[in-house]
Structure formats: C-alpha cells, structure tokens
Amino acid sequence: MSDILTTVLGRLTNTPATRTLESGREVTSFRMACNHGFFDREAGAWRESSTSYLAVDIWRRNLGRNVQASFAKGDPVVVHGRLFVREYEQEGRPRTAVSLVAEAVGPDLNTAIAAVRRIRRSAEGDIIDDGAPVSEGPRGPGSADLAGQDRGVGGLQGVPRTVEVEMGAPVGGA
C-alpha cells in the first residue's frame, strides 16, 4: 500500500514533547484540533463543523527539536506528512486511530505572522548561533524585523498574536 500524503491545518491541543526511545532515537509528538468552518446561508453567519483530533509524530530529529522550541498549546500550524490509519480492538470494541508522521511543520499564516531566521546545527544537533541577521524580507532591509512587535493582522494591534519562528524555532514570543 502506498503512503497517503496530506496537509492539515489546525491548532495544537498540547505543547509538543520529545521523548527518547530505548534505541536512542528521538520522536516529538503533539496533538492538533482541526475545524472546518462553513457559511450558513440561512442564518447569514459562519458556523463551525465538528472538530477532528489528530496525533502527530515527528521522527526527524532537527524538525522535532525546532517544533518543540517553536510552538505551544493553541498555536496555529500547518502540518504536511504521511497519514496512518490503524484499526484495533479495545474492551471488545473495534477502534480506529488516525495519526500523521510529519515531514514539514510551520505556522498557519492565515492567523499568525512569522519572522524566519535560518539556523546552523553542529553534528550533535545543537544550534550554532553565529549571529546571522534575520532575512531581509520581501520589502527590503529591515522589513523582517518583527521581533518584539505584536502587529496582528494588517498591522492591527492584538489580532491575532504574532508567532515568530527560527526555521521552526522561536526568536522571541508574544
């Protein structure tokens, strides 16, 4: 059977946590909630359908470390990866578990602003801070200087909060 690749948008229901297996391999895990809104023409308002919950596992060490350092419970994320559906029995009843093995994770820019800063890592996986500046940004020098600012959407203060990432890791936080 071939892998099912998918991209899912949602919010973290817990802060990502990394655990080390007996083999020494690291896996970072979190859960996310995914809602789908739709416009109810009769009521003339937006409504939310039921919420789906998804377990996400990250087996790539650097990606897992960056995600753990970047995101907290409630943050909006976009996750791309391989979908797994597992059927099992619990207390005599058939159950189904759906999980996603992430290949890429980032902030959902529909509801957040991100300032990206490239990082380098040592052979052991530790971040090497060489003092490299944040990228120039699409509007020229200094346009990517979001650190410490809560600009919100379209420059509106406080709506919603700014999420700053360093190739998946925070450089500050609101």
pLDDT tens sequence across 113-163: 887 777 777 777 777 765 555 545 454 444 444 444 444 444 434 434 444
Model confidence over 17-72: pLDDT tens digits?
999 999 999 999 999 999 877 888 899 988 888 899 999 999 999 999 999 989 99
Same structural domain, 131 and 174 = yes
pLDDT for res 48: 82
Q: What is the mean pLDDT of residues 9-15?
A: 96
Q: What is the mean pLDDT of residues 80-103?
A: 93
Among residues 62, 76, 71, the alpha carbon closest in space to that of 173 is found at 71
Question: Quick one: pLDDT band at residue 97, thresholds 50, 70, 90?
Answer: confident
- Cα–Cα distance measured from residue 46 to residue 127, given in angstroms and rounded to the nearest whole number: 43
Same structural domain, 84 and 121 = no
pTM score, two decimals? 0.67
Same structural domain, 122 and 68 = no
Same structural domain, 77 and 162 = no
Among residues 3, 29, 14, the alpha carbon closest in space to that of 81 is found at 3
pLDDT for res 58: 97
Q: How many domains does the chain have?
A: 2
pLDDT for res 55: 96
User: Which two structure tokens, joined as six digits, stand for 43?
Assistant: 């009521």
Among residues 71, 86, 79, 74, the alpha carbon closest in space to that of 102 is found at 79
Q: Which domain holds residue 49?
A: 1-109
Same structural domain, 65 and 147 = no
Q: What is the mean pLDDT of residues 71-94?
A: 94
CATH number of the CATH domain containing 17: 2.40.50.140
- Cα–Cα distance measured from residue 38 to residue 58, given in angstroms and rounded to the nearest whole number: 31
**5-19, 83-97, 135-149: range with lowest mean pLDDT:** 135-149
- Check whether 174 has a pLDDT greater than 50: no
Same structural domain, 48 and 8 = yes
- The overall longest dimension of the chain from CA atoms, in Å, is 63
Same structural domain, 29 and 95 = yes
Higher pLDDT among residues 124 and 165, named by residue: 124
Q: What is the mean pLDDT of residues 163-171?
A: 45
Among residues 105, 102, 99, the alpha carbon closest in space to that of 84 is found at 99
pLDDT for res 49: 82
> Which of 109, 135, 160 is the last residue before a domain boundary?
109
Same structural domain, 75 and 13 = yes
